[in-house]
Structure 1
Amino acid sequence: MSKFVIGLLIGILAIMPSLAMAKKPLKVQMMTDFASQENDDPFNIATQFLLDIEKQLNGIIALNFIPASRLREWQQLHAMKDVCLYNKVKTPDRLENALFSTSPIMAFPANRLVVYKHPELPENISLNDAVNKYNLTIGIASGRSYGHEIDNYITKHPKSFMSLGGTTGAYRLSQMLFQNKFDAVIEYRSVFTSRHGTDPSTENIRYLSLDDTNQTVFGYIACSQSEQGKQVIALFDQALQTPEIQKIIISSHTKIFAPPEQALILHALQDAFNVAIPAR
């Protein structure tokens, strides 16, 4: 065998490990407060979007879903370099502690004050009136952001809110509402109705609009502030700018929301993606 051939073989063997490394996907630990492989419903549709994104990126990333409470998932994001969270609201505090995707993966109408057997309350209410005028005790999920305005009020008046944590915290909050253990919870109407749509107790549920809140709330991907976090966020943004992923997200939202909330959400996504919503 000639020296040239031997040298060529040695050169190929030398670069093979680097080629293998180049093809190795970035492993991303996706913290989640619900199971990722359940049927496709509004509870985990954001998880399905992530699986669609993983497929769109064609092996560049590998997602590993890990159950965690809302509090623990943020702790893991700060402690590790390869953690991402999803369907998270951007707030000033969070923007200082995590890298967020430019585009959202979910959109929701504003949070509602969900009340059980309170016919005396008006259809529109402020948190200040709910707490001080009507003396309501309100259940909230610890570690969750309800948007900047609501979060600020909760921080300033913690004794008026009952906080519950854990991966099943949101579901237990609504069960406790039905048991009259407090007067109201803060939740998206679509999420609450999906969770308890067949429960006869919902006949006595009302969804009150909260004053001074944004009409639409977006959920984004958030990753660790690390070099890998930067790479992963850039890849998520790349996928979220593709027509294929945007079409999947927009189409799925039309199945979740009914008019008039549907039109509000579609226009919000249209603005977020800077695309036109196809006529249907």
Structure 2
Amino acid sequence: MSKFAIEIILSVLLAVIPTLAEAKKPLKVQIMTDFAPQVDGDSHNIATQFMLDIEKQLNGAIALNFIPASRLREWQQLHTLQDVCLYNKAKTPERLNNALFSHYPIMAFPANRLVVYNHPELPQSVSLEDAINKYKLIIGITSGRAYGSEIDDYIRKHPDSFMTLAGTTSALRLSQMLFQNKVDAIIEYSAVFVSRHGKDPRTTDIRYLSVENSNQAIFGYIACSRSDQGQQAIALFDQALQSASLQQAIITSHEHTFVPPEQTLLINALKSAFKTPKP
């Protein structure tokens, strides 16, 4: 082979190799999360584990970097930076205007409950208006959280009727305030509260009241920055979430987490969501 031919081959290789190396680089994504470790020291909740499973399913195509942030700050970072994603977020009209959402959910929850402590006199189902005006309850909520369209709408119209906490550990602090009688009620998923305080003997006096006129099932999705990186990330997340094995893992986890009748409701909702074709 002539020296000229060798030089040609080398020049082609030098041009191609960086391109190939660049193609193999994973898409780096900053995952802002307000999840605080559970009391037993477990660093991963269910939704976090699903994100790790998605990363594994994509086999090096994406690299997730988890960064602690309050609910308020995580949305601020998503709007400010190009490579930020959040997870287990409900879709709302406002959020759809400011973020890109995965087509498929990673979690399903029964409707939020009004969690009360030492209030046997309250009915099992109550509207927020009656809870505040008729029963004079002080209700604690977390700043920046979506509770479902109906509850969010009431909070938006009556912000001064609620005690609002911000920060990474606000949900945990609110439940502690509930036990200390500093608030009369908090709005929370029953499964989350049980997971957080199930071993506490005081839970025998906890009740989970239905909030009238609220959705029965709420999905948690992945949300990303409205950018090229965000669009790439969402495409990869949806690609992974189309995997039958990952969908089954999500369904099985919900079967182990929830009990009937909520279990059946959520499993059917997830199966329906996974079958919905992308637009």
Same-fold status (TM-score > 0.5): yes
Shift of 1:37: 11
Q: 1:264 and 1:41, CA in 2 relative to 1: closer, same or farther beyond 3 A?
A: farther
Secondary structure of 1:58's counterpart equals coil
CA deviations 1:131-169 (Å, max 9, x no partner) are 111111100011111011101101111121001111111
Shift of 1:4: 1.2
Q: 1:117 and 1:97, CA in 2 relative to 1: closer, same or farther beyond 3 A?
A: same
Which runs of no fewer than 5 residues in structure 2 stay unpaired?
none
Q: How does 1:1-280 map to 2 (within 5 A)?
A: 1-34=2-35, 44-274=45-275
In structure 2, the partner of 1:278 is: none
RMSD of aligned residue pairs (Cα, Å): 1.8
Shift of 1:35: 5.5
How far apart in 2 are the matches of 1:35 and 1:118? 28
How far apart in 2 are the matches of 1:207 and 1:129? 16
Shift of 1:34: 2.2
Letter in 1 for 2:196: R
Query: TM (normalized to structure 2)?
Result: 0.95
Shift of 1:53: 0.6
List structure 1 segments (4+ residues) > 2 angstroms apart after TM superposition: 34-43
Which runs of no fewer than 5 residues in structure 1 stay unpaired?
276-280
Q: 1:166 and 1:263, CA in 2 relative to 1: closer, same or farther beyond 3 A?
A: same
How far apart in 1 are the matches of 2:244 and 2:38? 25
Shift of 1:62: 0.2
Q: 1:36 and 1:133, CA in 2 relative to 1: closer, same or farther beyond 3 A?
A: closer
Contact 2:78–2:225 (Cα < 8 Å) also in 1:
yes
The number of residue pairs the alignment matches comes to 275
Contact 1:42–1:194 (Cα < 8 Å) also in 2:
no
Shift of 1:98: 0.3
Contact 1:42–1:256 (Cα < 8 Å) also in 2:
no
Contact 2:55–2:62 (Cα < 8 Å) also in 1:
yes
Letter in 2 for 1:11: V
How far apart in 1 are the matches of 2:66 and 2:40? 15
Query: TM (normalized to structure 1)?
Result: 0.94
Shift of 1:2: 2.6
Shift of 1:128: 1.0
CA deviations 1:163-217 (Å, max 9, x no partner) are 1111111000000011111110000000001110111111111000011111001
Indicate the percent of aligned positions where both proteins have the same amino acid. 68
CA deviations 1:53-92 (Å, max 9, x no partner) are 1111111100000000000000000000000000001000
Secondary structure of 1:73's counterpart equals helix
